[in-house]
Structure 1
Amino acid sequence: MPFAYYARLSPREKAIYRASDAVPAIPVPGVSSLHPDVEALREALARDDGEAVARSSLALCAGISRALGARTPKLEIHAVRPSADWGELHGLYTPDPDEPPCIRVWMRTARHARVVAFRTFLRTLLHELVHHLDLEVLGLEWSFHTEGFFKRESSLFHQLVPEAARGPARRA
């Protein structure tokens, strides 16, 4: 079932939307080699260490991009999220035909300037990376938010954080 904005798309855009929606996952070869970078990101956020957050985030983006045959995007980690009456901006992907594409992610909430939770930060990073992979790996002309898009984001997250798929540990 397409999202409501589908009705406003041109026939060409609808074809891109349907192609995006048809891809529910992006398997990453050798993904377990990135698990230490995931833990480094978790620890860097807990320490509020922006430089370490940037290093581990770039390692994740570069590792996934390499494994899938895509260029590594430029990555910028910013402090406090921009906000306005529409809400807060968590991340932004900017493709550019003349420059390397750029992913921007903010690591602090707008209202209280607190470091965002690990899962929220990683999902935001992966969300922006999926836009990049849509263009570079799937060969889509544009990256729409489709059900397939959100499934791809989730598939990346669960490959990187496999314990999240299992749920909380049970006590014996």
Structure 2
Amino acid sequence: MTFAYYDNLTPAQQRVYRMSDSVSALRLREPRTLEPLVAALREALATGRQPETEHATARLSDALCERLDLFAPRVEVLEVRPSSTTGELHGMYTLERGRRPRIQLWMRTAKHARVVAFRTYLRTLLHELCHHLDFLLLELPASFHTEGFFQRESSLFHQLVPRPARPRRSGARKGVTADTPDISPGRRRRGG
């Protein structure tokens, strides 16, 4: 599946788009060893203090890049997100010839200047880091938002914040067995 803007790309850009789209996951070496850095970032963000948040964000970014054998971009954490009629800017990746790549993240919402939720902030960091990885790890000449790009972002997120295990049900409710999925109200079962 391609996004709508694909048709507006040149043939060369479409090739890069397809290359990006073909990579759906990135595997980190020993992701569990990053848990203390993820916890430190969560705690720093919760304080609402920019210097602590920037330091914790940079440490996690550096460790992620080290696990992927890449040099890390410079990380800058700013306060209130810039906004316009089209929305708020959450983060930005900048790659300029002759300069160290840079990730900028904003830690407060535009409307009320509230600290953003941790999961949103971490996903924004990983999103911007995926742009860095597109250029340096995948060696793409451009970094497009493709389905593969968003899958790579999610693959990193779930290595850092594993999904909780779903408890197995003991005993069966009427009409539900261990082999039958529980279909909650409002959700339809496909194919049945």
The unaligned stretches of length 5 or more in structure 2 are: 171-192
Residue 76 of structure 1 corresponds to which residue in structure 2? 76
The amino acid that maps onto 2:30 is G
Per-residue deviation, 1:145: 0.1
1:120 maps to: 120
TM-score by length of 2: 0.84
Q: Distance in 2 between matches of 1:169 and 1:35?
A: 23
Matched, 1:64 2:64: yes
Q: Superposition pairs for residues 129-148 of structure 1, below 5 Å?
A: 129-148=129-148
Distance 2:46 2:82 in 1: 22
> Which residue does 2:27 correspond to in 1?
27
Identity over aligned residues, as a percent?
A: 52
Letter in 2 for 1:4: A
What is the SS of the residue equivalent to 1:29? coil
Listed one character per residue, the Cα deviations across residues 44-95 of structure 1 (whole Å, up to 9, x for unaligned) are 1112122221111111111111111211101100000001111100000001
- Aligned equivalent of 1:159: 159
Q: Structure 1 stretches of 5 or more lacking a match?
A: none
User: Larger relative CO (CA 8 A, sep 6+): 1 or 2?
Assistant: 1
The number of equivalent residue pairs is: 170
Q: CA deviation at 1:169?
A: 7.7
Which SS does the other structure have where 2:78 is aligned?
A: strand
Give the number of the structure whose residues are more often helix, by fraction.
1
User: What's the TM-score once normalised by structure 1's chain length?
Assistant: 0.94
Superposed structure 1 runs of 4+ greater than 6 Å apart: 167-170
Task: Give distance in 2, aligned partners of 1:110 and 1:167.
Answer: 35
Instruction: State how 1:1-12 maps to structure 2 within 5 Å.
Output: 1-12=1-12
Q: Which has the larger radius of gyration?
A: 2
* Equivalent position amino acid for 1:118 in 2: F
Hey, what does 2:173 align to over in structure 1? none
Shift of 1:146: 0.2
Cα displacement string for residues 6-65 of structure 1 (whole angstroms, at most 9, x for unaligned residues): 000001100000000000001011221211010011111112122221111111111111
Paired residue type of 2:17 = Y
